Amino acid sequence: MKNAEAIEKRRTFGIISHPDAGKTTLTEKLLLFGGAIQSAGAVKNSKISKTATSDFMEIEKQRGISVATSVMAFEYGGKQINILDTPGHKDFAEDTFRTLTAVDSVILVVDVANGVEEQTKKLMEVCRMRKTPVIIYVNKMDREGKYTFDLLDELEQHLEIKVTPLTWPIGMGDRFKGVYNLFDKNLNLFQANKTKISTDIVSLSDINDSKLDELVGEAPAQELREDIEVIEGVYDEFSREDYLSGDIAPVFFGSAVNNFGVKELLDTFCRISPSPRGRATDAGFIEPSEDKFSGFVFKIHANLDPKHRDRIAFLRIVSGKFERNTFYNHVRLGKKVKFPNPTSFMAQDKSVIEEAFPGDVIGLYDTGTFKIGDTLNEGADFMFKGIPNFSPEIFQELENLDPLKSKQLDKGIRQLMDEGLAQLFIQQPGNRKIVGTVGQLQFEVIAYRLLNEYGANCRFVPKGYAKAVWVTSENSEQLNSFMRSKSNSLAKDKDDNLVFLAETSFLLTMAEQDYPDITFHKTSAFKLEKQFN
Q: How many CB atoms lie within 10 A of CB 184?
A: 17
| Smallest separation, CB 216 to ligand G4P (Å) | 19
CA separation for the pair 207, 494 (Å, rounded): 60
Q: Rounding to the nearest 10 degrees, give the CA dihedral for residues 470, 476, 478, 484.
A: 80
Of residues 70-99, those binding ligand G4P (CB under 6 A): 88
CA separation for the pair 360, 73 (Å, rounded): 9
Answer yes or no whether residue 256 interacts with ligand G4P by CB under 6 A.
yes
Answer yes or no whether residue 19 interacts with ligand G4P by CB under 6 A.
yes
Out of 86, 167, 255, 523, which residue is the one contacting ligand G4P (CB under 6 A)?
255
Answer yes or no whether residue 261 interacts with ligand G4P by CB under 6 A.
no
CA separation for the pair 189, 170 (Å, rounded): 9
Using the rule CB under 6 A, give the single segment among 20-28, 55-63, 296-304, 407-415 that binds ligand G4P: 20-28
Q: Toward ligand G4P, which CB reaches closer, 106 or 256?
A: 256
Binding mask 108-147 for ligand G4P (x = CB under 6 A): -------------------------------xx-xx----
CA separation for the pair 143, 140 (Å, rounded): 6
| Smallest separation, CB 113 to ligand G4P (Å) | 9
| Smallest separation, CB 51 to ligand G4P (Å) | 12
Out of 10, 12, 24, 302, which residue is the one contacting ligand G4P (CB under 6 A)?
24
- Bridge-based pairing state of the strands 10-17 and 105-111: parallel
Q: Toward ligand G4P, which CB reaches closer, 315 or 438?
A: 438
Amino acid at 411: K
| Smallest separation, CB 255 to ligand G4P (Å) | 3
- Bridge-based pairing state of the strands 10-17 and 79-84: parallel
Answer yes or no whether residue 417 interacts with ligand G4P by CB under 6 A.
no
| Smallest separation, CB 265 to ligand G4P (Å) | 12
Answer yes or no whether residue 257 interacts with ligand G4P by CB under 6 A.
yes
Nearest Cα to Cα of residue 33 among 249, 191, 260, 201: 260
Phi, psi dihedral angles at 157 (to 5 degrees): -70, -50
| Smallest separation, CB 138 to ligand G4P (Å) | 10
Out of 6, 11, 13, 22, which residue is the one contacting ligand G4P (CB under 6 A)?
22
List, in order, residues 6 or more apart from 355 with CB less than 8 Å away: 321, 322, 323, 324
Q: Toward ligand G4P, which CB reaches closer, 95 or 419?
A: 95
| Smallest separation, CB 59 to ligand G4P (Å) | 17
CA separation for the pair 213, 220 (Å, rounded): 8
Are the C-beta atoms of 470 and 390 separated by less than 8 Å?
no
Q: Toward ligand G4P, which CB reaches closer, 85 or 290?
A: 85
Is residue 244 classed exposed, middle or buried when 0-12, 13-18 and 19+ CB atoms within 10 A define those classes?
middle
| Smallest separation, CB 266 to ligand G4P (Å) | 15
Q: Toward ligand G4P, which CB reaches closer, 29 or 321?
A: 29
Out of 6, 7, 14, 25, which residue is the one contacting ligand G4P (CB under 6 A)?
25
| Smallest separation, CB 20 to ligand G4P (Å) | 4
DSSP 76: E
Residues 139-169: b if buried by 16+ CB within 10 A, e if exposed: bbbbeebbebeebbeebbeebebebbbbbbb
Answer yes or no whether residue 69 interacts with ligand G4P by CB under 6 A.
no
Out of 7, 16, 21, 32, which residue is the one contacting ligand G4P (CB under 6 A)?
21
Alpha helices in 347-495 (DSSP H): 406-418, 440-454, 476-485
**By CB under 6 A, how many residues form the interface with ligand G4P?**
17
Q: How many CB atoms lie within 10 A of CB 420?
A: 22
| Smallest separation, CB 389 to ligand G4P (Å) | 25
- Bridge-based pairing state of the strands 162-165 and 248-253: parallel
Are the C-beta atoms of 36 and 73 separated by less than 8 Å?
yes
Answer yes or no whether residue 275 interacts with ligand G4P by CB under 6 A.
no
| Smallest separation, CB 46 to ligand G4P (Å) | 10
Give CA angle at 329 (324, 334), nearest 5°.
145
Instruction: Tally the C-alpha atoms within 13 A of residue 503's C-alpha that lie toward its C-beta.
Output: 8
Nearest Cα to Cα of residue 19 among 43, 41, 47: 47
Q: Toward ligand G4P, which CB reaches closer, 254 or 288?
A: 254
Binding mask 142-181 for ligand G4P (x = CB under 6 A): xx--------------------------------------
Q: Toward ligand G4P, which CB reaches closer, 174 or 206?
A: 174
3-state secondary structure of 32: helix
Amino acid at 241: E
Are the C-beta atoms of 435 and 443 separated by less than 8 Å?
yes
CA separation for the pair 433, 259 (Å, rounded): 49
| Smallest separation, CB 268 to ligand G4P (Å) | 18
For residue 355, the surrounding DSSP H or E stretch is strand 355-356
Using the rule CB under 6 A, give the single segment among 16-24, 90-98, 345-353, 362-370 that binds ligand G4P: 16-24
Answer yes or no whether residue 17 interacts with ligand G4P by CB under 6 A.
yes
Q: Toward ligand G4P, which CB reaches closer, 95 or 142?
A: 142
Out of 3, 9, 20, 492, which residue is the one contacting ligand G4P (CB under 6 A)?
20
| Smallest separation, CB 145 to ligand G4P (Å) | 10
Q: Toward ligand G4P, which CB reaches closer, 113 or 244?
A: 113
Answer yes or no whether residue 355 interacts with ligand G4P by CB under 6 A.
no
Q: For binding to ligand G4P (CB under 6 A), which residues are involved?
A: 17, 19-25, 88, 139-140, 142-143, 255-258
